[in-house]
Amino acid sequence: MTPALSRRCLAIFDTLRTRVGSEQAMAKALEYALDATSRRAIAAEAGDVDPKALAMLEDVAQHHGHTLSELRAGKPYTWVAAVRQEAVYVARAVTGVSFPVLARYFGLDHSTLVAGERRFERRIFCDEALRERVGRVVEAAREARAA
């Protein structure tokens, strides 16, 4: 276990000790933290994402003024989630890449990406400008892929 991971586990343990009375709940939270760290390590080595899907993910990130590594960092900021949701939506619409493959790439659980795509679809439904912009991106990507 790395020193950074040890410090993270101890911090989580201390926080839970003050908030939760059950040792069983504390053990479960520590297990989750270790599992999330393992997923990120595995995702760093994930090479099964289609290169065209990666290019689309990167294009969406750059459109918003960010890098793909910022989206992969697993930061819980709203802007990261919103851009990641759009990138996943476009990549899936054009290439059909699966949620588990993308989840391994981002170091997240696939259900997080499923929920994010649903949330993004609701945003598209309500925001006409976003719907048109994403539609243009998807169409351009499909045409480029077909050529």
What gap in Å lies between CA 73 and CA 48, rounded to an integer?
A: 19
What gap in Å lies between CA 63 and CA 132, rounded to an integer?
A: 15
What gap in Å lies between CA 107 and CA 120, rounded to an integer?
A: 19
**Domain extents for the chain?**
3-44, 51-146
What gap in Å lies between CA 1 and CA 23, rounded to an integer?
A: 22
- Name, in order, each residue with C-beta under 8 angstroms of 107's C-beta and a sequence gap of 6 or more: 36, 39, 40, 42, 43, 44, 72, 74
- Alpha carbon 55 to its chain's center: 16
Torsion over CA: 35, 36, 41, 47 (sign): positive
| Phi and psi at residue 76, to the nearest 5° | -85, 25
Dump pLDDT digits (tens) for 47-75: 567 777 788 788 888 888 888 788 876 66
**Residue 43's pLDDT is what?**
44
CATH no. of 51-146: 1.10.1750.10
Segment among 77-81, 101-105, 130-134 with least mean pLDDT: 77-81
Dump pLDDT digits (tens) for 89-129: 988 888 888 898 888 888 888 898 999 999 999 999 999 99
**Residue 46's pLDDT is what?**
46
Report pTM.
Answer: 0.62
Highest-scoring range by mean pLDDT, 23-27, 29-33, 93-97 = 93-97
Confidence band, pLDDT 50/70/90 cuts, at residue 39: very low
What gap in Å lies between CA 29 and CA 20, rounded to an integer?
A: 11
Give which of 53, 59, 49 is closest to 95, Cα–Cα.
53
**Residue 44's pLDDT is what?**
45
